Amino acid sequence: MGSKRLKIVNQTILENDIIIIGAGPAGLACSIYLARSGYLPIVLTGDAPGGQLIKTDIIENYPGFREISGCDLMMKMMSQAEGLGSEFIYEIVDSISKIAGNFNLKLTSGATLISKAILIATGATHKKIGCPGEDDFTNKGVSWCATCDGPLLKENKTVAVVGGGNTAVMEALFLSKFAAKVFLIHRRSSLRADKIMQDKLFSNDKIEVIWNSEVSEICGNQILEAIHLKSTIDNSERTLKIDGLFVAIGTVPASSFIQNLVEMDDNGYIKATDTLTSCDGVFAAGDVVSGSLKQAIFAAGSGALAARRIEEYLWMR
């Protein structure tokens, strides 16, 4: 079955059994499984086909690939989904409403899609520091995933983690397995992480905490070489030479367009059990779900589970 990429113009109205919002690992895995079951899901890619993974340089922990770039992995998944009959629309959802048992999706282009079931797989974006050099050195020493990029480090490397919560502490502890030295940079004088996590951190000889400091600039030539730190107490500055910087200051879920339809946690992540949300007919998978592990394989697995749950839902209609 050939691939299909639908074109949308203003006021277009399309109807389909299932619409998947998001084209990252979760959305694409769901579309592959549904297409193999005889459905022709529509996949709304938004403005980032392939999701956040498209920006990841090298992946070493996705089963079946000893090493693959995030871009290549997502392109393979998209090609497979299209080859099976999934239909792609390169549009963004503005709002969703439930009318007479079906879902009306308003796109920013003005078009309307009508569906019996929808999967929310829009993921989440990492919060950025917002300092000069951050964008320039992304994937050139600056990373948001220690699990993805930490094992690439050599034993003699020095790295830094920015953050003060559980994620930042876990990143620092994980990186200490590979790097010779790990700095944890926090803008306050105490961490937010759980006590048990802090105890592990403070007992690790490889890790040093730099308190009351913020990264003010990221520097280097072709790759990251150093960062400038600014004191949150007296505004004094210092330079720290490092080989890698891992930012762990939180994530932002892409869920604003569906806030009044499903139950969410305090941070805007969708609450879902086995991909089922509080709204009948709405399913959620991947990083947009509360408690997600923020890993590609977990997202893909939850997408496959969503496909099964969607099939069950459609059978009962």
Mean pLDDT per 10-residue segment, the chain (317 residues): 46 83 96 95 88 75 88 94 93 92 91 95 92 93 84 84 92 92 97 93 97 97 96 97 94 89 94 97 96 90 98 92
Cross-sheet strand order for the sheet of 244-247: 142-143, 244-247, 158-162, 181-185, 207-210
pLDDT at 157: 93
Where are any strands of DSSP class E within the chain?
Answer: 4-5, 13-21, 42-44, 87-89, 93-99, 102-107, 112-120, 124-126, 142-143, 158-162, 181-185, 207-210, 213-220, 224-231, 237-241, 244-247, 251-253, 282-284
State yes or no: is 148 an active-site residue. yes
State the catalytic residue, choosing from 47, 57, 148, 199: 148
Q: Going from the N-terminus, what domains does the chain have, and what CATH number goes with each?
A: 4-126+251-315 (3.50.50.60), 142-247 (3.50.50.60)
State the catalytic residue, choosing from 30, 149, 279, 287: 149
pLDDT at 2: 35
pLDDT at 8: 56
* Count of other CB atoms within 10 angstroms of residue 135: 11
154 contacts: CB under 8 Å, gap ≥ 6: 178
Which helix H or strand E contains 297, and what residues bound it?
Answer: helix 296-315
pTM (predicted TM-score) = 0.76
- How far apart are the C-alpha atoms of 229 and 120, rounded to whole Å? 39
pLDDT at 5: 47
Which helix H or strand E contains 170, and what residues bound it?
Answer: helix 166-175
| Distance linking the first and last C-alpha atoms of the chain | 27
State the catalytic residue, choosing from 30, 145, 243, 287: 145
SS3 64: coil
pLDDT at 11: 59
